């Protein structure tokens, strides 16, 4: 298949969700360009819109008693980011809340964040199984202070606390414990906090946030590099290609304060794909993907900092028949699906025709498997619509794929 197309990628939901939280803590309407229309961002936006304005000053006794009654139910469906970010937000937002989600979301870990919030004086209880949603939250103003957080399972636990910290009277001094997984997402949080006037510094495993409230500033959200990975995959499977990805910054130019990558760690896909026959070229403000020569040889990839790229790279290596060693897979069982198990199960179907893939209720599994139809012919999915979680227009943009939907 020869591919010649211009693609406008979806906006980064990771950046979008952080902007929404910063604006909520700062009590201002976000001045933002290109806010994501993904289901994850829409869920968070709708929840925040339905909550009363936040106050960081304690109410008197009479006012507190008037808040009583049944808790307000906050259902974040399958959004892991919303679950983690809203747990802290509701914990320091006066009111009574019941935070819950889908069956799968109630199987995803929350204990590290809960332990940290409890040590800061939050009033939260598990409703069913310890360590997981649903949570009963009795919100009240928190002061901040010193805390430690285990980063092994998710960087979202740390980001959740950090986003609130500029509004706390004592700020926050956070020590990060365990394996530092998904650090690019944590760095994204820090850089965006700084953009909105927060005073935050990371030195090794310690992050210090001063009690300096956020200030409203314009912010332009970048196209999503995780979504770009699926176009790299389609480029890899094409006979020839000229795929233009609009307004995508090339990695070499993505440098933030003190040399940090700004903002998305998944820019690494451009470097990785040079080993798999796809080159990244600058064309004005855009990026163009073209085929380049490559030597088929055993490769190695570490997904500890880039977990969302695992399904894509696994599918590419399978499609190109490239042997590869994958590292940093421990946390992939904690995502929307057990992504290692899901990909093994679905890639085992290659060779049959037509192929009916299971989505495993996971947007990234679907988008990683769909381009394989370029090589193996017609395919279908049980729930193709799950792509709306991060890339609502995926099927429209990739309408040339021989996938029934």
Question: Kind of pairing, strands 324-327 and 299-302?
Answer: parallel
Residue 377 has pLDDT above 80, yes or no: yes
Question: For position 56, what pLDDT does the model report?
Answer: 63
- Residue whose C-alpha is closest to residue 404's, from 370, 362, 375, 376: 370
The sign of the torsion formed by the CA atoms of 348, 352, 358, 362 equals positive
- pLDDT tens readout for residues 124-161: 999 999 999 999 999 999 999 999 999 999 999 999 99
Residue 54 has pLDDT above 80, yes or no: no
- pLDDT tens readout for residues 290-325: 999 999 999 999 999 999 999 999 999 999 999 999
- C-alpha–C-alpha distance, residues 173 and 167, integer Å: 13
Of all residues in the chain, the percent with pLDDT exceeding 70 is: 93
> What's the mean pLDDT when you consider all of the chain?
93
Question: For position 57, what pLDDT does the model report?
Answer: 57
Q: Which one is catalytic: 308, 338, 362, 397?
A: 308
- Mean pLDDT (whole number) for 341-346: 98
Helix (H) or strand (E) holding 404: strand 403-404
Question: For position 130, what pLDDT does the model report?
Answer: 97
Residue 3 has pLDDT above 50, yes or no: yes
Residue 51 has pLDDT above 50, yes or no: yes
Catalytic annotation on 308? Answer: yes
- pLDDT tens readout for residues 217-274: 999 999 999 999 999 999 999 999 999 999 998 765 433 334 434 479 999 999 999 9
b/e 365-377 (16+ beta carbons within 10 angstroms → b): bbbbbbbbbbebe
* Domains of the chain as residue ranges with CATH: 13-219 (3.65.10.10), 223-404 (3.65.10.10)
pTM of the model: 0.94
- Mean pLDDT (whole number) for 200-225: 96
- C-alpha–C-alpha distance, residues 43 and 40, integer Å: 5
Q: Which two tokens stand for residue 356?
A: 């009916």
Question: For position 59, what pLDDT does the model report?
Answer: 53
- pLDDT tens readout for residues 345-361: 999 999 988 999 999 99
Question: For position 52, what pLDDT does the model report?
Answer: 87
Backbone angles phi, psi at 4, to 5 degrees: -135, 105
Please answer whether residues 200 and 144 qualify as being in contact, where contact means their C-beta atoms are separated by less than 8 angstroms: no
Question: For position 64, what pLDDT does the model report?
Answer: 43
Counting beta carbons within 10 angstroms of the beta carbon of residue 19, is it exposed (0 to 12), middle (13 to 18) or buried (19 or more)? buried
Question: For position 62, what pLDDT does the model report?
Answer: 45
Q: Which two tokens stand for residue 157?
A: 């636990």
Residue 67 has pLDDT above 90, yes or no: no
Question: For position 250, what pLDDT does the model report?
Answer: 78
pLDDT band with cut points at 50, 70 and 90 for residue 184? very high
């Amino acid at each position: 298949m020869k591919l010649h197309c211009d693609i406008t990628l979806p906006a980064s939901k990771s950046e979008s969700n952080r902007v929404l939280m910063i604006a909520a803590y700062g009590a201002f309407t976000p001045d933002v360009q290109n806010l994501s229309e993904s289901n994850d961002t829409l869920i968070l936006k709708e929840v925040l819109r339905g909550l009363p304005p936040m106050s960081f000053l304690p109410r008197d006794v009479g006012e507190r008693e008037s808040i009583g009654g049944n808790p307000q139910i906050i259902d974040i469906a399958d959004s892991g980011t919303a679950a983690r970010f809203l747990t802290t937000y509701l914990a320091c937002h006066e009111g009574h809340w019941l935070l819950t989600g889908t069956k799968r979301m109630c199987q995803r870990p929350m204990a590290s964040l809960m332990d940290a919030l409890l040590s800061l004086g939050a009033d939260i209880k598990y409703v069913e199984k310890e360590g997981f949603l649903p949570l009963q939250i009795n919100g009240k103003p928190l002061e901040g202070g010193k805390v430690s957080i285990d980063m092994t399972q998710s960087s979202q636990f740390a980001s959740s606390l950090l986003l609130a910290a500029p509004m706390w009277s004592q700020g926050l001094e956070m020590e990060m414990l365990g394996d530092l997984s998904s650090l690019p997402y944590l760095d994204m949080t820090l850089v965006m906090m700084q953009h909105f006037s927060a005073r935050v510094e990371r030195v090794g495993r310690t992050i210090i946030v001063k009690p300096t409230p956020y200030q409203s500033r314009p912010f332009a959200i970048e196209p999503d590099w995780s979504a770009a990975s699926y176009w790299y995959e389609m480029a890899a499977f094409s006979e020839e290609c000229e795929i233009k990805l609009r307004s995508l910054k090339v990695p070499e130019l993505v440098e933030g304060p003190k040399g940090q990558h700004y903002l998305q760690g998944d820019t690494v896909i451009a470097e990785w794909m040079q080993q798999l026959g796809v080159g990244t070229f600058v064309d004005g403000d855009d990026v163009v993907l073209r085929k380049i020569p490559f030597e088929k040889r055993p490769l190695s990839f570490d997904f500890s900092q880039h977990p969302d790229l695992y399904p894509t790279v696994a599918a590419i290596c399978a499609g190109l028949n490239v042997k590869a060693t994958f590292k940093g897979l421990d946390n992939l069982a904690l995502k929307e699906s057990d992504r290692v198990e899901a990909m093994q199960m679905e890639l085992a179907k290659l060779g049959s025709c037509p192929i009916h893939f299971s989505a495993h209720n996971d947007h990234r599994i679907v988008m990683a498997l769909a381009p394989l139809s370029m090589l193996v012919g017609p395919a279908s999915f049980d729930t193709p619509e799950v792509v709306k979680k991060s890339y609502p227009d995926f099927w429209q943009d990739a309408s040339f794929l021989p996938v029934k939907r």
